[in-house]
Amino acid sequence: MLNSMEDFVGIESKFNKLRFLLCSSVDDVRFVGIWGMGGIGKTTLARALYGNMSHEYQFSTFLPNVRSISDGMNGLCHLQKKLLSGIGMIKDDIWDPHEGVALIRRYLYHKKVLLILDDVNNMDQLEYLAGKQEWFCPGSRIVITTRDEHLLIAHGVQRRFKVEGLPNSQALKLFSLKAFKKDYPPDDYLGLSRRVVHYAKGLPLAVKVLGSFLHGRRLSAWNSTLGKLSEVFNSEILEILKISYDGLRDNEKKIFLDIACFFNGDHKDQVIKTLDNCGNSASIGIDVLVERSLLTVTYSQILMHDLLQEMGRELVCRESPDEPGGRSRLWHWEDVNHVLSKNTGTGGIESILVNPAKSRMVMHVIHANAKSFLMMSKLRLLIINDVNLANGLECFPDDLRVIEWSGYPLKYFPSHFNPEKLLELNMSHSHIEHFWTGIKALYKLRSINLCHSLSLIDTPDFRGMPYLECLILEGCIQLYRVHSSLGTLERLTLINLRNCTNLVHFPSSVCGLKSLKVLDVSGCSRLQKLPDDLGCAECLEELDVSGTAIREPPPSIGLLKNLKELSCRGCKAASPKPWYMRLPFGLSLERSQDPSSKFWNMIPFRLSLARTPHPTSWAPRSFASLRSLVKLDLTDCNLFEGAIPNDISCMASLTKLNLSRNHFASLPSSIFYLSKLEDLNLEYCERLQTMPALPSQVELNACNCVSLERWSVPIERCKLLLSANLTNCFKLGKQGCRTLALTLLKRYLEGVPYLYRLESGLRFVVPGNEIPDWFTYQSVGSSVYVDVHPGFSGMYMGFAGCAVFEIKGMVRFRKRKRDGLGTSRTLSQAVSHHLWFEYTPRHIHYEDWPRWQHCRRLKFSFEFGGQDIVKKCGVRIVYEPDIQSLNESLKKSNFGTSPDYALKFPGKAAAVSAGSSTKYGTLEHHDEAAPSGSGYHGSITMEPDLEGSVEFHIGF
């Protein structure tokens, strides 16, 4: 895609030549190379190609910044994973590039794809991402952009396109758009503009940078700039770009160099936070750099062109060409090791950052001298790891603002540790045992992170750091207590003590933290109590006590009016009764009081069916005050019948409710009124007998609710469920399950106008081994053919599919959110045959309707992670009249065959002929994934013989 008008200048003729090389109408596999110097417009041309041609292919993937990404740790594996996700295969992780090659070959061989690899500089990148033509389906196109033509020749790419600089007329137009915001310069600036364009030598990046620099400036500034251009006549392009850098203010120059040396490609918010901590006004400075065309921000990622980054790093190296210790910034491992081991650091060093994730080299241990930092009086940013301090460490510079030292090897901080300007202390995985003794004045400190410091025993006295906002001590397994002065930190917003398994003492003063938003003590298995007055922490939004020894909530929990997330997973309540008062099924033992009963007098106790009092639990006695709660997790909390109060409906904001692995037999009927509920998890509630009426559009997981017998309302009155997993719920009965499935489908179809904007369709799993007759096309095995008239695509509502499957292993369920992030959990082993139902509405693939006008036959294939477990399958192309026929079938309860509306059109089905597949368009859902990692998706294809296919990759 092209982002602005400037991107179009001079691109049309190049684009047409490139399309000629690609020749998408020819049914072969083609590799096409785009090459030229940096900044010449290769990426812009490739993006234009992608935006204009991607719709012609079944799958299209654009992999940007291949060079920089592959330079990092596991970079090639990350690129392979990204490529696979672009063709609908979700892979949790790829640890070996050879494994990635096998997966790419397997999944691309039958798919017509457009694959663009941008900024390739190494043969390994091509060999592991697009090795040979044999990997790809006929009709596929692989486009490679690179600075190195020899790389294309070595890989056998015969069709190569060199991107030349802009001719003067086009360069003048581009310059004018940046300098004057119009196509042509004003008359009084025309001569000056032509001189600038001449010096830029047709390089689009240089033209844009100079145009942005001169925008809004007076003639005197123009003449001064042209004078500098004259001085560097015949010099390298970097010198031309440096003119724009020279026009920056000092603070903007610092930000530019920091990004060039350290932060190119990082998230904008994190860069701003780090640079602000170092004393720069980063937000305003970054905006200025964007205005000057020295930076771009894409999807919150800061990007600097390679040439500009090279220029910035070259400027830093020129500060001290022969001795790295005299430079302001150090980023190469070799330079940092030299300076710290040889103790050559000077007062000129401002920042040291060695990031293994961005380095192509294998990191080795850095050897530091005890006095390495003694002379670095201006050091403000220190980010390193794996440092050997054989002789200890005497001091840290007092000017330090950020310390991030993963794996800090010493047991103590330096004796003269007193960085009064320190804002962020991050020493994860350190060997520290104790903080400093007494109160240390760190009045600017905002964040402490010593997570996974396995030897840490205690925390510091917090009274010397009143502005602390974030405390992270996760995984400090030796930590026994938290200092009581924690309660004095009025600005503290986050406390993370997760998996501090030895933690016993948690200060009661935490209830006075008026700014606290997140408290996480999950996994603190020895922690038995939270402060009774925790409710006074009125700003608390997230509370996680999962896996602790805390048996019941604090009495004041109802005062947490702003609480949004509460997780108590595994907090099993303990009954105060002795063991003999906790027999199953409500049985209790009591001594006989009837002396006339000779039989009862023979034993000291008798059985009684008297109701045993329920143990205390983490389910609050009332939910009335928790109206802001969005997520509630009460998994495995020993909840019995009646433990969940009826006023659960008061939680009007609740979207996720997890009650799995508990012991209740029913749920309050008021759950129906949770209008925002999206996800209800009841898996392994093995005593649950009745399902209440649920809110509309809920995704239900009732896997292994083996006692579930019925819905509390007739199934014909069931509200719409978007997803229901009823694996191993055999007591519902085969007929009841099938009726339920078709009822949910009818409800969905009736609500199609209202649900038009839903991203996904309908899917659910129920026990059963017979496909309802309503599915007009059925077949043994995993595929079935459907004959259609070419005009079907303009009339149908969607595809309904059903498959009988059997699983012998564990089933995983994956939900992928809009932001790309997902969660997965193991469900169960299906112990018998089950039915998978799926309905995919037409609006998900509306862009492809015109391409199906001549399709006469569809092949529907059902797959489950590549395993042959589908026994039978059935499909139906759904039209509006089918809603009524489905309703009639449900009334008759005999699942009789309904009219075949798909065959009412005139014409005969076309015969199937052999031929290579030419695929168009995609239909994708990434809501679920099978154990192999492939996401659920369907792809609709057309072949030259007018036969199409629909592939359902089903998974949980």
> Mind listing the pLDDT tens digit for each residue in 615-652?
456 666 667 778 899 999 999 999 999 888 888 888 98
Are 699 and 765 in contact, with CB atoms under 8 Å apart? no
Q: Is 101 helix (H, G, I), strand (E, B) or coil?
A: helix
Q: What is the pLDDT of residue 829?
A: 53
What residues have CB less than 8 Å from 868, skipping those under 6 apart?
782
Measured at the alpha carbon of residue 589, what is the angle toward residues 588 and 591, in degrees to the nearest 5? 145
**Residue with the two structure tokens 């592959």:** 70
- Residues in a beta bridge with 425: 403, 448
Q: What is the pLDDT of residue 207?
A: 86
Name residues of the chain where pLDDT drops below 70.
1-7, 71-73, 88, 90-92, 229-237, 240, 356-363, 573-622, 714-719, 733-736, 738, 751-760, 790-794, 807-831, 844-855, 864-868, 889-956
Q: Measured between alpha carbons, how far is 653 from 70 in angstroms, rounded to an integer?
A: 43
In the chain, the amino acid numbered 767 is: P
Q: What is the pLDDT of residue 549?
A: 93
**Residue with the two structure tokens 């969660």:** 823
Are 595 and 601 in contact, with CB atoms under 8 Å apart? yes
DSSP structure string for 332-380 = -HHHHHHHHHHT---TT--EEE--GGG-SSPP-PEE--TTTTTT-TT--
> Mind listing the pLDDT tens digit for each residue in 649-682?
889 899 999 999 999 999 999 999 999 999 999 9
Q: Is 862 helix (H, G, I), strand (E, B) or coil?
A: strand
Q: What is the pLDDT of residue 904?
A: 30
Measured at the alpha carbon of residue 923, what is the angle toward residues 32 and 742, in degrees to the nearest 5? 165
Q: Measured between alpha carbons, how far is 639 from 662 in angstroms, rounded to an integer?
A: 5
Q: What is the pLDDT of residue 784?
A: 87
Q: Which helix (H) or strand (E) holds 784?
A: strand 783-787
Q: What is the pLDDT of residue 822?
A: 33
Q: What is the pLDDT of residue 792?
A: 67
